[in-house]
Amino acid sequence: MSTTLPTPVPVSLPETEEFWAATAEGKLLLRRCDDCGIPIWYPRPFCPVCGSFRTSWSEASGRGTVYTFTVVHRSGIPGYREALPYVVAYVELAEGPRVMTNIVDCEPDDVVVGMPVRVVFHDTGQGSALYRFQPDPTATDDGS
Amino acid sequence: MTIRGKAFIAGIYEHPLREIPDRSNSQIHAEVAAGALADAGLSFSDVDAYFCDSSAGFGPLSMADYLGLRLTHVDSTETGGSSYVVHVGHAAEAIAAGKCQVALITLAGRPRSAAMAGRPGGGGATPDMVFEGLWGMSGAVTGYAMAATRHMHEFGTTSAQLAEVKVAASLHAQHNPNAFLQEPMTVEEVLESPMISSPLRRDDCCVVTDGGGALIVVSPEVARDLSRVSAKILGHGEAIKHADNGRLDLTYTGAVVSGPRAFEEAGVTQADIDYASIYDSFTITVIETLEDLGFCAKGEGGRFVLDGALVAPDGRLPFNTDGGGLCNNHPSNRGGITKVIEAVRQLRGEAHPAVQVPDCTIALAHGTGGSIGTRMGSSTLILGTEDA
Ligand SMILES: [Zn+2]
């Protein structure tokens, strides 16, 4: 088990205020296009697929699989360099987007591509939380 | 309109130093500019177009002022390490359109002397930087490592295959007295180097060096009057590959777009390429780029580089004969300009004799900027000898 990861406070832009506020309540929001229906990532009030500005929030399932990952063994980033080794990954959410994050609550060497994961929130103490992912013991085998 | 044969690279210069603690970026820009102009047999007063990235100050204004340039055309396109390859293409376009005759392109930076600090908390003001700045991405290697993991997962690429790329670069670097790393390496040595960000080890990474380089791109009329041998610009392609609304695929690069455009404009195929400068920020960068440029099928890059395929002069595709970013030089954390410089050396027959490709008439230089792990610029340049 790696040392606890730091919880840097995200810079909140006007269009992501609701997103970060929801994380503090344990919710992972996805911006969705009201015209073509596609989930948008990273969150923005514009659909890069169809060009629409008609978008709204919906709550994500918080489940996904590991698309790819790396175990970081060298880092100069304060907070992270004290937590080596740690895992940076792209998790493919059940809704489609591949989201950069950390995999936590398991040995870094146990992470594999395709592994089912579920979201956990690490509070920053500043009205936001970081969405990270842990192995999902409840996932069925047909996931990936 | 095409740029084929409408512009020539008449001057090149690579700064000889790899650690420069005592000079400003501006001075290094000036030194490499002077070096490339001297190589071409031109002077500052001949320059009427200037190209730079965001390291030169307030766009091109600062260096135009510093150098006292009188310009009719400027361009500060910023696509990371691929910028300078883009600049060559844009210079050729401007020359073909009659906007200028002598274009100066410079790069300078001192990452070795002024180590870059980490940025927890998201740092940047754009949402992409916020959402990617929270997870301990430790420099560029983290994103490239995730690309390597996925490439290995989908295609069975191995760490030993990645190591072959470094070995080939090191075999070339031993002949370059300015190279940062000059010792030949073996696959075993690369595999024993410390893990940085799995699966990438220290020796899968490029060097961190101060320094820079410059290029002079001129019109056919100017090239004709110069005594120095020029390289003819045959074709160019550029592309941005981005995260695609979170559906990014890390197994390929923007070269899938920039490569075919360059080959088409040049009117040549992969089989015509005698020498290739392939951007080598990391070993995985080379594997994916070789596939995307069509030198082998997607997924076959790891197998393609075996058996000394990249080793000059006799390999199937001699690459990065200066030692590349992996061993020679990656000035300002950007390798694009040195890629063009070594391609011109090969076409002039002025690479080190031990690595000079015999009868080198068509060369390719490819630049990669930003990160394969998120969003990136790709630029492909195809050059020929003066009569190609
Ligand atoms: Zn849409």
Predicted confidence (pLDDT) per residue in B365-377, tens digit: 999 999 999 999 9
Q: Is B150 on the interface with A (CB under 8 A)?
A: yes
Q: Which of B302, B247, B292, B296 is nearest to B271 (CA)?
A: B296
Give the Å distance between the CA of A37 and the centre of ligand 1.
6
Backbone angles phi, psi at A119, to 5 degrees: -75, 145
d(CA B343, CA B266): 15
Answer whether residue A73 shows pLDDT above 70.
yes
| Bridge partners (DSSP) listed for residue B282 | B205
- Longest C-alpha distance within chain A, in Å? 45
- Stretch among A34-38, B108-112, B161-165, B247-251 having the lowest mean pLDDT: B108-112
- B150, part of any domain: no
The pLDDT of residue A143? 46
Per-position b or e across B111-145, b if 16+ CB within 10 A of its CB: bbeeeeebebbbeeeebebbbbbbbbbbbbbbbbb
Cα end-to-end distance, chain A, whole Å? 25
Pairing of strands B102-109, B8-14: unpaired
Q: What is the DSSP string of A86-135?
A: EEEEEEEETTS-EEEEEE-SS-GGG--TT-EEEEEEEE-SSS-EEEEEEE
C-alpha distances in angstroms, A84 versus A6, A76, A109, A118, B131?
A: 11, 10, 12, 22, 21
Q: What is the DSSP letter of B259?
A: H
Residue B189 belongs to a domain: no
Q: What local confidence, expressed as pLDDT, does residue A131 receive?
A: 98
Q: Looking at chain A from residue 39 to 78, which residues have their Cβ under 8 Å from any Cβ of chain B?
A: 39-44, 48-49, 67-78
Contact list, B138 vs chain A (CB under 8 Å): 72, 74-77, 80
pLDDT digits (tens, 9 = 90+) for B44-80: 999 999 999 988 888 899 999 888 999 999 999 999 9
**What range does the domain containing B375 cover?**
8-116+206-383
Tell me which chain A residues have a C-beta less than 8 angstroms from the C-beta of B149.
68-70, 113
Question: Residue A100: which of B131, B198, B199 has the nearest Cβ?
Answer: B131
Interface of A with B in 98-117 (CB under 8 A): 98-102, 113-114
Domain that holds residue A117: 17-135
From ligand 1's centre to the CA of A97, what distance in Å? Answer: 14
Does residue B353 surpass a pLDDT of 70? yes
User: Which phi and psi angles does B279 have, rounded to 5°?
Assistant: -55, 130
Which tokens sit at A60?
């994500």
- What does the pLDDT look like over A3-14, one tens digit per residue? 599 999 998 888
In a domain, B247, yes or no: yes
Is the pLDDT score of A142 beyond 80? no
> Does B193 map to a domain?
no
The answer to whether B131 contacts chain A (CB < 8 Å) is yes
For residue A32, being part of any structural domain is answered with yes
A77, B136: Cβ pair inside 8 Å? yes
Any chain A CB within 8 A of the CB of B98? no
Q: Who has greater pLDDT, A140 or B160?
A: B160
Position B205 scores a pLDDT of 98
B23: domain CATH number?
3.40.47.10
> How sure is the predictor about B115, in pLDDT bands with cuts at 50, 70 and 90?
low
Which residues 113-142 of A have a C-beta within 8 angstroms of B?
113-114, 130
- Average the pLDDT over B284-292 and give the result: 98
The order of strands in the sheet holding A55-59 is: A39-40, A29-33, A55-59
Total number of domains in chain B: 1
Please tell me the total count of domains within chain A.
1
Q: How many contacts, defined by CB atoms under 8 Å, are there between A and B?
A: 135
Q: What is the mean pLDDT of chain B?
A: 94
Which residues neighbour B235 within 8 Å (Cβ) at sequence distance 6 or greater? B2, B3, B4, B261, B262, B263, B264, B265, B266, B267, B268, B380, B381, B382
Q: Is residue B87 part of a domain?
A: yes
Determine, yes or no, domain membership for B164. no
pLDDT over 90 for what percent of chain B? 88
Residues of A in contact with B137 (CB under 8 A): 88, 100
The Cα–Cα gap between B298 and A16 comes to: 38
Q: Does B243 map to a domain? A: yes
CB contact under 8 A, B195 and A75: no
Paired with A29 in beta bridges are: A59
Q: What is the pLDDT of residues B199-233, one digit of tens each?
A: 999 999 999 999 999 999 999 999 999 999 999 99
Structure tokens at B165: 């790329």
Residue whose C-alpha is closest to residue B329's, from B10, B13, B7 = B13
Mean pLDDT, range B312-317, rounded to an integer: 97
Overall average pLDDT of the B286-295 stretch? 98
Q: What is the pLDDT of residues A25-52, one digit of tens each?
A: 999 999 999 999 999 999 988 899 999 9
Selecting from B122, B139, B148 the residue whose C-beta is nearest the C-beta of A10 gives B122
pLDDT digits 0-9 by tens, B135-188: 999 889 999 999 999 999 999 999 999 999 999 999 999 999 999 999 999 999
Cβ atoms of residues B29 and B52 within 8 Å: yes
Q: Hey, of A9, A11, A15, which one would you mutate to test binding to chain B, going by the most B CBs within 10 A of its CB?
A: A11
Distance from the alpha carbon of residue A32 to the mean position of ligand 1, in angstroms? 8
Test mutation, B116, B129, B135, B193, chain A, max A CBs within 10 A: B135
Q: B142 — phi, psi (to 5°)?
A: -60, -45
Mean local confidence (pLDDT), A96-119: 98
Question: Does the residue A144 lie in any domain?
Answer: no
The answer to the question of residue B168 being in a domain is: no
Q: Which residues of chain B are within 8 Å of residue A49 when distances are taken between CB atoms?
A: 245
For residues B182 and B172, give the distance between their C-alpha atoms in angstroms, rounded to a whole number: 9
Whether the complex's predicted ipTM is more than 0.85 is answered with: yes
Q: Does B197 touch chain A (CB under 8 A)?
A: yes
Question: Is residue A12 domain-resident?
Answer: no
- Does A142 reside within a domain? no
Query: Which of B121, B127, B245 is the closest to A9 by Cβ?
Result: B121
Q: Looking at the partner chain, which of B122, B136, B245 has a beta carbon nearest the beta carbon of A48? A: B245
Provide the pLDDT confidence category of residue B124 given band limits of 50, 70 and 90: very low
The one-letter code for the residue type at A36 is C
The residues pairing with B30 across neighbouring beta strands, listed in sequence order, are none
